[in-house]
Amino acid sequence: MQPVVKLEDIHKTYSNGEIEVRAVRGVSIDIHRGDFVALMGASGSGKSTLMNLLGCLDRPTRGRYFLDGIDVSGLDRNELADIRNQKLGFVFQGFNLLARTTALENVELPMLYSPQRISSRVMRDRAMQSLEIVGLGKRFDHYPSQLSGGQQQRVAIARALVNQPQVLLADEPTGNLDSRTSVEVMGVFQRLNDQGITILMVTHELDIAHYCRRNLILRDGLIVSDVQVHPRLLSAVELKKLDDAEAAAKLTAAH
Ligand code: ADP
Ligand code: MG
């Protein structure tokens, strides 16, 4: 089967006047459907640069990038924006929710930018489904300030899923969360991955990478390690401890 992400000798060089920084120096990787990848590496190793390239937010200086079979390396800004909207979902460290907007409305947002017009009823139904997947169906009318950090990140995950992306990209999604809440969020990612969703996340915590299935390490712009791991699966008992009983019930049912 063709990989959902294929990077062929990808380079990214930043030029600021006379200084050149070779942030990514020839990365080739295949990511297959259903992969759950942690991208690790020290600060400055090129993780964010690589994620920006993968997320079609920036273009490589050299090399080719095939996303879902499409060569996106040569596309212009507008074309990249369309691809991003159709094929990718993003989760950030800082949640990036709109404060004066309910959970449901936050999740509806990406559908407003969809190229095809979607009726408000369909938007609402899809956003509700997405919130139910992350165990927050009952909190749809809550504002971000009324939700815990873990719940806010789950809303952000629901938002990332709402356009049914091919790949979910997450940059330090547990970076702002305590360790217990981080595990809760990793439980949500594991359940999504069990359902076949492809996930690629940046983390600098080895502990978090252990919940993924494949670990990549970047050093000085190069992949220096790429290993399959036996993921640490959350047990039913651990899941029961999660603060949201609804989420726990769903997660347990999935195991
Ligand atoms: P990481 O996310 O692993 O910390 P980055 O991708 O942010 O690494 O950075 C990799 C290298 O590229 C670093 O040396 C950084 O200083 C440099 N860099 C990142 N972004 C830019 C930019 N916009 N202009 C110039 N240099 C940059
Ligand atoms: Mg970074």
Q: Is any atom of ligand 1 closer than 6 Å to the C-beta of 21?
A: yes
Q: Is any atom of ligand 1 closer than 6 Å to the C-beta of 23?
A: yes
Q: Which of 18, 21, 52 to mutate to test the pocket of ligand 1 (most atoms within 8 A of CB)?
A: 21
Residue 15: other Cβ atoms inside 10 A: 9
Measuring CA to CA, which residue among 108, 110, 104, 73 is closest to residue 89? 110
What does pTM read for this prediction? 0.89
CB-based contact 127:162 (threshold 8 Å): yes
Q: Is any atom of ligand 1 closer than 6 Å to the C-beta of 16?
A: yes
Q: Which of 12, 14, 43 to mutate to test the pocket of ligand 1 (most atoms within 8 A of CB)?
A: 14
Question: Amino acid identity, residue 28?
Answer: S
Q: Which of 25, 39, 48, 223 to mutate to test the pocket of ligand 1 (most atoms within 8 A of CB)?
A: 48
Q: Is any atom of ligand 1 closer than 6 Å to the C-beta of 45?
A: yes
Q: pLDDT value at position 239?
A: 55
Q: Is any atom of ligand 1 closer than 6 Å to the C-beta of 15?
A: no
Q: How does strand 198-202 pair with strand 88-92? A: unpaired
Q: pLDDT value at position 113?
A: 80
- Taking the CA of 46 as reference, the closest ligand is 1
3-state secondary structure 127-187: HHHHHHHCCCHHHCCCCHHHCCHHHHHHHHHHHHHCCCCCEEEEECCCCCCCHHHHHHHHH
Helices (H), the chain: 47-54, 77-87, 103-112, 120-133, 149-161, 179-194, 206-209, 236-240, 245-254
pLDDT in tens, the chain (255 residues): 899 999 999 999 999 889 999 999 999 999 999 999 999 999 999 999 999 999 999 999 999 999 999 999 889 989 999 899 889 999 999 999 999 999 999 999 999 887 788 999 999 999 999 999 999 999 999 999 999 999 999 999 999 999 999 999 999 999 999 988 899 899 999 989 998 999 999 998 899 999 999 999 999 999 999 999 988 877 555 655 655 554 554 455 555
Task: Name the residue with the closest Cα to ligand 1, atom 7.
Answer: 48
Q: Distance from the CA of 46 to the center of ligand 1, in angstroms? A: 6
Task: Name the residue with the closest Cα to ligand 1, atom 13.
Answer: 44
Q: What is the DSSP letter of 91?
A: E
Kindly state the tokens that stand for 68: 């879902």
Q: Distance from the CA of 48 to the center of ligand 2, in angstroms? A: 4
User: Rounded to whole angstroms, how far apart are CA atoms 125 and 233?
Assistant: 31
Residue 69 exposed, middle or buried by CB count within 10 Å (0-12, 13-18, 19+): exposed
Q: pLDDT value at position 249?
A: 47
Length of the chain: 255
Question: Amino acid identity, residue 103?
Answer: A
Task: Name the residue with the closest Cα to ligand 1, atom 16.
Answer: 44
Q: What is the DSSP letter of 116?
A: S
Q: Is any atom of ligand 1 closer than 6 Å to the C-beta of 119?
A: no
Q: Distance from the CA of 234 to the center of ligand 1, in angstroms? A: 34
Q: Is any atom of ligand 1 closer than 6 Å to the C-beta of 41?
A: yes
CB-based contact 150:184 (threshold 8 Å): yes
Measuring CA to CA, which residue among 206, 161, 153, 147 is closest to residue 177? 153
